[in-house]
Amino acid sequence: MLFSETEDPAARSDPASRPDRLRAVPMLRMGLFGFASGLPLLLTFSTVQQWLSESHVSLKAIGAAAFFGMPYLLKFLWAPVLDRMPPAIFRRMGRRRGWMLPVQAALAASILALSWCDPSRGLWPVAITALCLAFFSATQDVLIDAWRIESFAPRFQAAALGAYSWGYRIAMLCSGGGAIWLATRIGWHGSLLCMALLSLSGPVAALWSPEPVVPVSAVPRDWRDALRQRVVLPFRDLLGRPAVGAVIAFVLVANLGTQLADSMAYPFYHRLGLSPAAVAQANLLPALAAALAGAAASGVLVARLGLGRTLILTACLQMASIGLYVAMARTGASVPLLFAKVVIEGFAEVMAATTFGTYLSRLCSLRYTATQFALLSSLAPVAWRTLGGTSGVLAEALGWTRYFGLTMLCCLPGIAIMSWLLSRYPGGLPPAVPEPRPQA
């Protein structure tokens, strides 16, 4: 149960009538959901890039691996389908969990299939499998976001997102540095098989979690009403707000500099002469400690400085962490500098991700939270996923020092846009149209 045992289940669908009690078990569920959601991400990004690097694939092909994540950009296209009831065989599990279980099973099967691939024998099987993995991972993200939004009252959303972020970051360490470290011990096929086993955390979380109660008014009458509720009205609500162009521009470029820098991180380490074992060690416990500290710092700073100012501060910290790439490019392979870079980067990126996620959640109207969050979170990596495919070409043309210097400059547009929004709206959040209290 998410709330007190005596609560009327129908009250869960009314944010204004939910109690003030929040138990630890729902936070543990969100942490487990975060782990299940974060695990596949690096398997379609930096981890597979490291695998390709060790397989002597060209730098251009490694950079093009950023396109594997295109389903994360397009997930809003099929998100409305997930608001319908699942196939009959899973319908007894409910609308959210009934979709989760088959999607999570397909996700685990995709990781298993990836473990059977060999980049040295051909890139197409790797590309197709990675795209399937990204599709099911993005679909799982939509379902988990919808479950979170429908299961927690608005005042508990930040806490739920914080627990989710912790699990998400731990999973990224497992599928990033952890997978690379395992590959040095048991090979890439064995390492990816272990990742497939860890992905079973998703079905465990789904089976452990209660199905949220959805108000009757949220169920569309027919496909026309569904299209209106889940596509037309959410778009109209977002696009009708003041300064919407600036908001969308900020969402697009907020994390672009760090994302472009990270696109070439593992090839950079490999060509610099750093051993995979050293990279893996730096990205395990030191990065984990920094990540947990960054998540905690986000909540403290948002409370003290406000949301907009904290976003600007996190962007400055991200620029500083990218600057250590430049330092490494000039000094050569240095394990102490690698550890310093990973710690600062881990702190800055998790603080930025948690604060940015809070910003996206605050942008959503209560009437359309699930759909709007899917739309906004799909927009967030558009610039990275489209420009990231050219990162290998830019790195070859500019050299490492100039390339990472360019990525530092890419942080400035986000700072400028948020400064402009902050000068006009509290927290950099343009006001939405006041929403009526939901009907039970």
- 137-188 per-position pLDDT tens digit: 999 998 998 888 778 775 666 677 778 888 988 898 889 888 888 988 898 9
My answer on whether 227 and 148 are in the same domain is no
Is residue 440 domain-resident? Answer: no
Round to whole Å and give the CA distance between 93 and 101. Answer: 9
My answer on whether 246 and 368 are in the same domain is yes
Residues 137/365/313/382 CA torsion (nearest 10 deg): 40
My answer on whether 119 and 79 are in the same domain is yes
Read off the pLDDT of each residue in 380-386 and give the average, rounded to a whole number. 74
My answer on whether 241 and 357 are in the same domain is yes
User: pLDDT at position 220, please?
Assistant: 62
C-alpha distance from residue 306 to each of 53, 155, 242, 299 (Å):
42, 16, 20, 10
Read off the pLDDT of each residue in 38-55 and give the average, rounded to a whole number. 84
- Confidence band for 305, pLDDT divided at 50, 70 and 90: confident
Q: Which of 83-92, 181-190, 381-390 has the highest mean pLDDT?
A: 181-190
pLDDT over 70 percentage in the chain: 85
pLDDT over 90 percentage in the chain: 24
User: pLDDT at position 216, please?
Assistant: 42
User: pLDDT at position 17, please?
Assistant: 38
Is residue 251 domain-resident? Answer: yes
My answer on whether 254 and 200 are in the same domain is no
My answer on whether 237 and 143 are in the same domain is no
pLDDT at 416 over 60: yes
Is residue 280 domain-resident? Answer: yes
Is residue 407 domain-resident? Answer: yes
User: pLDDT at position 52, please?
Assistant: 83
This prediction's pTM? 0.71
- 196-226 per-position pLDDT tens digit: 999 999 999 999 999 887 654 455 667 677 6
Write down which residue in 219, 236, 271 finishes a domain: 219
Q: What is the average pLDDT score of the chain?
A: 81
Write down which residue in 219, 248, 282 finishes a domain: 219
pLDDT at 276 over 80: no
Is residue 11 domain-resident? Answer: no
Name the token pair of 69: 């994540």
My answer on whether 209 and 339 are in the same domain is no
My answer on whether 294 and 423 are in the same domain is yes
Is residue 71 domain-resident? Answer: yes
- Confidence band for 422, pLDDT divided at 50, 70 and 90: very high
Write down which residue in 187, 204, 219 finishes a domain: 219
- Confidence band for 438, pLDDT divided at 50, 70 and 90: very low
pLDDT at 9 over 70: no
- CATH number (domain holding residue 402): 1.20.1250.20
* 95 in Cβ contact with 85 (< 8 Å): yes
Domain of 370?
221-433
Count structural domains, the chain.
2
My answer on whether 169 and 297 are in the same domain is no
Q: Which of 110-114, 236-240, 323-327 has the highest mean pLDDT?
A: 110-114
User: pLDDT at position 237, please?
Assistant: 83
- 90-102 per-position pLDDT tens digit: 888 888 899 999 9
My answer on whether 215 and 229 are in the same domain is no
* 175 in Cβ contact with 58 (< 8 Å): no
User: pLDDT at position 1, please?
Assistant: 30
Is residue 17 domain-resident? Answer: no
Read off the pLDDT of each residue in 393-401 and give the average, rounded to a whole number. 87
My answer on whether 92 and 41 are in the same domain is yes
My answer on whether 208 and 252 are in the same domain is no
Is residue 275 domain-resident? Answer: yes
